């Protein structure tokens, strides 16, 4: 079976989906499954038939390294914008992202927390 990124998750009968023990009890979770050939699929537990995002082990390893290093902690700060304009941004829109972040970070903010 050819598995492509975005395949409906319910079309992966070989997938044994699992989630973190720290997941939200209301079912709003990210689930993962190892697929034949070693790729790893992700899906939203609220939409079990929705698209599965499929990554290589190297891609997951790089992402988890970034998570462990705190590179995405700014995404969890409610009411605050990302403040690290020196983060590594890559891809065709990286320059635009840097400009937006630097402009956004220069705007005074008040905390609602």
Question: For 18, which DSSP code?
Answer: B
Neighbours of 31 (CB within 10 A): 19
Asked if residue 99 has pLDDT above 60, the reply is no
pLDDT at 20 over 70: yes
Of the pLDDT bands very low, low, confident and very high (cuts 50, 70, 90), residue 92 is low
Residue 112's pLDDT is what? 39
Task: With a cut of 60, say whether residue 65 has pLDDT above it.
Answer: yes
Domain positions in the chain are 1-69, 79-108
Predicted TM-score of the model (pTM): 0.64
Distance separating alpha carbons of residues 12 and 27, to the nearest angstrom: 20
């Amino acid at each position: 079976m050819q598995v492509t990124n975005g395949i409906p998750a319910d079309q992966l009968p070989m997938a044994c989906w699992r989630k973190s023990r720290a997941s939200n009890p209301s079912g709003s979770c990210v689930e993962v499954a190892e697929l034949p050939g070693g790729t790893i699929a992700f899906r939203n537990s609220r939409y079990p038939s929705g698209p599965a995002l499929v990554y290589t082990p190297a891609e997951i390893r790089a992402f988890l390294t970034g998570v462990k290093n705190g590179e995405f902690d700014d995404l969890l700060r409610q009411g605050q914008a990302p403040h690290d304009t020196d983060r590594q941004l890559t891809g065709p829109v990286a320059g635009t992202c840097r400009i937006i972040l630097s402009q956004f970070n220069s705007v005074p903010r008040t905390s609602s927390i």
